[in-house]
Amino acid sequence: MTAFQVSVVGVCLVINLFEGFDVLVIAFAASGISKEWSLTASQVGLLLSSSLVGMALGSALIAPLSDRIGRRPHTLICLTVCAVGMLLATVSTGFWFLGVCRLLTGLGVGGMVAGLPVIITEYSPRRLRGTMIALYGSGLPVGGILGGSVAVLVTSEYGWRASFLVGAVLTFAILVVVALALPESLDYLISRRPEGALEKVNKLLGRMRLPAVEALPPVPPREERGVLANVLRGREAVRTVALWVAYFFMMASFYFAESWTPLLLQHNGSSAAQGMDGGLLLNLGGLAGTLLLSVLALKVVTRTLTVLAFLGAGLSYLAMSLFLGSTVVALAAAVAIGLFVNASGNGLNSIVPGLYPAAVRATGVGWAMAVGRLGAFSAPALAGLLLDHGWSARSLFGLLVLPLVLVAALIAVIASSARRSRISVEPAESLSPVN
């Protein structure tokens, strides 16, 4: 890789890291917010879910705009939205205002979901693309680690708003870096042909030490988009519904743990600092799970790893439910939850594209992820509602044990069925579960 390519990929990785910070920092600030405004658990759950609702809306409504205006300006707009949302959160005076700020931040983050992996793959050598995408997938847990570390350092001294201020400053800083260092997507220049496209492509090729081209390649005909009915016929219908269930509970378990672990540890006798430690350890486990899956996938079939990861996630939730009153064991369980849930998410993203025939692959994967996002933003809100209706923290963790074990069985069955049907189940490039 040339220095130019390293800088482009590096900028994308840092953007994703700050996305993780912006999304997950609310989990570490929730305790202080709840105390200051005397919020119910249901209100806390809605605050925790608001950025996730924004992400879902952003990925559906804002992300497609990058194909029209270009990846670079689109990224700048989304980062600006994120930064403004974080900055406004620092001056919020009530529940609804902060909820809107979090929704705004989520819109910006969700809008960037599709574009950054495209830029990374375009500017990475083929032999390193899988590694770069794996590093991209680690951005969310690393951002969570950063958010937790900042919260531990500044909350006790300056209050919960300081965490959002740090996030706003970091996001504005990367916005400046993107404006100076991030080039336009080659795919956009070739497919959309803006004015001066050939000159811009050759300039980028030169910076990558590749030969210039005399003319841009012909624009390939657009593929006809699949429709939902194509993945709900016959055998595909069973596979599709099973994958919807898998994605729903994978994202529900991920965002429930990320959002509520610090608070639920405090509800069961841990100190505020220990609750934040639990959130930090959860994200450290997530980083380890992402990297471990990438390494083990070189030697072990990815579908096997994915099944084992879901089983491990279910057992980790069981351990948290049984031993939540013991701070040491609960912190160890938090590491395990982070490790196995992140590994299961990355494994699922890796094998699912190969479970569909090429003609309906994009439709199948897109709808599975869309259903998964329902789990992402409904789980934190539902947890708050159940707490207000008398559920214990132990019961909330226990609620996800059986679904995760059943998902492991579903993945084993549908992967084996696809193999017998001669559909490829080789791993594809992995993405983070927030996508």
Do residues 104 and 85 touch, judged by C-beta distance below 8 A? yes
Residue 434 has pLDDT above 70, yes or no: no
CA angle at 392 for the pair 389 and 395, rounded to the nearest 5°? 110
Do residues 355 and 303 touch, judged by C-beta distance below 8 A? no
How far separated are the first and last CA of the chain, in Å rounded? 27
CA gap 50, 304 in Å, rounded: 34
Q: How do residues 172-216 score in pLDDT, each as one tens digit? A: 999 999 999 999 888 788 877 888 888 888 898 888 888 888 888
Q: Assign 426 a pLDDT band (cuts: 50, 70, 90).
A: very low
Smallest CA-to-CA distance from 331 within 257, 277, 396 is with 277
Q: What is the pLDDT of residue 356?
A: 74
CA-CA-CA-CA torsion sign (242, 243, 249, 253): positive
Q: What is the pLDDT of residue 430?
A: 43
CA gap 186, 25 in Å, rounded: 34
> Could you give all domains of the chain from N- to C-terminal order, each with its CATH number?
1-183 (1.20.1250.20), 226-435 (1.20.1250.20)
Instruction: List the structure tokens of 372.
Output: 């998964």
Instruction: List the structure tokens of 240.
Output: 């599709």
Residue 424 has pLDDT above 50, yes or no: no
| Of the candidate ranges 65-74, 101-110, 386-395, the one whose mean pLDDT is the lowest | 65-74
Percent of the chain with pLDDT over 70: 91
| Of the candidate ranges 71-80, 332-341, 354-363, 384-393, the one whose mean pLDDT is the lowest | 354-363
Half-sphere exposure of 64 (CA within 13 A, CB side): 5
Residue 362 has pLDDT above 70, yes or no: no
Residue 48 has pLDDT above 70, yes or no: yes
Do residues 345 and 253 touch, judged by C-beta distance below 8 A? no
CA gap 395, 390 in Å, rounded: 10
- 83 contact partners, CB below 8 Å, separation of at least 6: 108, 168, 171, 172, 175
- DSSP 8-state assignment for residue 62: I
Do residues 366 and 282 touch, judged by C-beta distance below 8 A? no
Categorise residue 269: left if φ over 0, alpha if ψ from -120 to 50, beta otherwise: left
What mean pLDDT comes out for the span 400-418?
Answer: 89
Where is mean pLDDT largest: 80-94, 152-166, 209-223, 345-359?
Answer: 80-94
Q: What is the pLDDT of residue 432?
A: 46
Instruction: List the structure tokens of 227.
Output: 């429709």
- DSSP 8-state assignment for residue 93: -
Residue 267 has pLDDT above 70, yes or no: yes
What is the DSSP annotation of 32-49? Answer: HHHHHHT--HHHHHHHHH
Average pLDDT, the chain: 86
What mean pLDDT comes out for the span 410-423?
Answer: 71
**Cα 137 to Cα 3, 42, 171, 244, 350, distances in angstroms:** 22, 30, 19, 21, 11
Residue 354 has pLDDT above 80, yes or no: no
Residue 427 has pLDDT above 50, yes or no: no
Q: How do residues 151-166 score in pLDDT, each as one tens digit? A: 888 888 899 999 999 9
Q: What is the pLDDT of residue 339?
A: 95
CA gap 257, 334 in Å, rounded: 8
Smallest CA-to-CA distance from 47 within 98, 88, 115, 118 is with 98
CA gap 52, 378 in Å, rounded: 9
Do residues 197 and 335 touch, judged by C-beta distance below 8 A? no
Smallest CA-to-CA distance from 138 within 261, 287, 285, 11 is with 287
Q: Assign 431 a pLDDT band (cuts: 50, 70, 90).
A: very low
What mean pLDDT comes out for the span 343-360?
Answer: 79
Q: What is the pLDDT of residue 429?
A: 44
- 169 contact partners, CB below 8 Å, separation of at least 6: none
Q: What is the pLDDT of residue 420?
A: 57
